[in-house]
Amino acid sequence: MTREADVPGNPRKAGRERAATTGALNLYAIRAIYLFEMARWFRTFMQSAASPVISTSLYFVVFGAAIGSRMGEIDGVPYGAFIIPGLVMLTLLTQSISNASFGIYMPKWSGTIYEVLSAPVSATEVVMGYAGAAATKSVLLGLIILATARLFVAYEIAHPVWMLGFLVLTAITFSLFGFIIGIWADNFEKLQVIPLMIVTPLAFLGGSFYSINMLPAFWQKVALINPVVYLISGFRWSFFGVADVSVGLSLAMIGLFLAICLGVIVWIFRTGYRIRP
């Protein structure tokens, strides 16, 4: 009698024995997927990059230059500078999710996913290609926005290495989250639901424009349920050395979310959920 794990194409068996039988990563495949995705981004550079840069610039004009000049400092940081980490994080979260979800959803939608599924690539390599490209795009956008912000507001980065670390780690984590959304979505509406209905509100309520210490005590406690609070707090600390929660806790929360996303992706590829009937 055939055991379940022995049946053809069964990824549970394949996953377990992959290391023993295949060894190294298929680097050519990772590179092919990565470059393919980056080429798509550069081909639509204006809508991919210019649009978030323009909208973020508007935030700086309104909240930084216009309203910010009439507001006092927060935790010793001028308001115009205070909102920079939150705005970068807002763009980073939405762009990571949107790039990664779109990147994997499009082949599903157009049917070209057959090629990836039939290629000698593992789940790890597929994710590295798609999520890696999405994270790269988001990090580049984040850096572009930081450069743009410098045109409006003077700021210093207290811990540049940590800043880059938070930027990259958050981009990777939310690109993985976007990858999951792209696999889950079976129409374009679903692709937009979570970024628009959940992530953007959480980013706005997560301290992008204020410190949660400015909230009443009760709402401070409620705000701690919001995972984005920890991302923005840690990122802001790397700029100004001030944070709503401890840096260690911020890192732990990002690590936890990263682990959850990786776990879900492993499950998706083991079961073939919505990609391999």
Partner 1 sequence: MSVILSIQNLGKTYASGFEALKDVSLDIRRGEIFALLGPNGAGKTTLIGIVCGIVNGSAGRVCVDGHDIARDFRAARAKIGLVPQELSTDAFETVWATTRFSRGLFGKPHNDAHIERVLRELSLWDKRGDKIMTLSGGMKRRVMIAKALAHEPEILFLDEPSAGVDVALRRDMWAMVRRLRDAGVTIILTTHYIEEAEEMADRIGVIHGGKLILVEDTAVLMQKLGKKQLTLHLQHPLAQLPAGLARDALQDARDGTLVLADDGNTLIYTYDSQTEQTGIAALLRRLAELNIDFKGLRSSESSLEDIFVNLLKEHA
Q: Kindly tell me which residue out of 160, 227, 263, 272 binds partner 1, with binding defined by CB under 8 A.
A: 272
Nearer to partner 1, 7 or 256 (CB): 7
Taking CB under 8 A as the binding criterion, the range among 68-76, 113-121, 182-190, 212-220 that sits at the site for partner 1 is 113-121
Taking CB under 8 A as the binding criterion, the range among 93-101, 148-156, 252-260, 269-277 that sits at the site for partner 1 is 269-277
| Residues 35-64, mask of contacts with partner 1 (x by CB under 8 A) | xx--xx--x---------------------
| Residue 34 contacts residue 28 (beta carbons within 8 Å) | no
| Residue 262 contacts residue 176 (beta carbons within 8 Å) | yes
Q: Kindly tell me which residue out of 62, 65, 71, 117 binds partner 1, with binding defined by CB under 8 A.
A: 117
Contacts with partner 1 in 2-31 (CB under 8 A)?
A: 2, 5-11, 13-14, 17-18, 21-22, 26, 28-29, 31
- By CB under 8 A, is residue 73 in contact with partner 1? no
| Residue 80 contacts residue 69 (beta carbons within 8 Å) | yes
- By CB under 8 A, is residue 116 in contact with partner 1? yes
Compute φ and ψ for 166, nearest 5 degrees: -60, -40
Contacts with partner 1 in 93-112 (CB under 8 A)?
A: 110-112
Q: Kindly tell me which residue out of 42, 50, 58, 115 binds partner 1, with binding defined by CB under 8 A.
A: 115
Contacts with partner 1 in 215-244 (CB under 8 A)?
A: none
Contacts with partner 1 in 121-150 (CB under 8 A)?
A: 121-122
Q: Kindly tell me which residue out of 38, 53, 119, 123 binds partner 1, with binding defined by CB under 8 A.
A: 119
Nearer to partner 1, 2 or 217 (CB): 2
Nearer to partner 1, 105 or 174 (CB): 105
Which residues sit at the interface with partner 1, rule CB under 8 A? 2, 5-11, 13-14, 17-18, 21-22, 26, 28-29, 31-33, 35-36, 39-40, 43, 110-112, 114-122, 272, 276-277
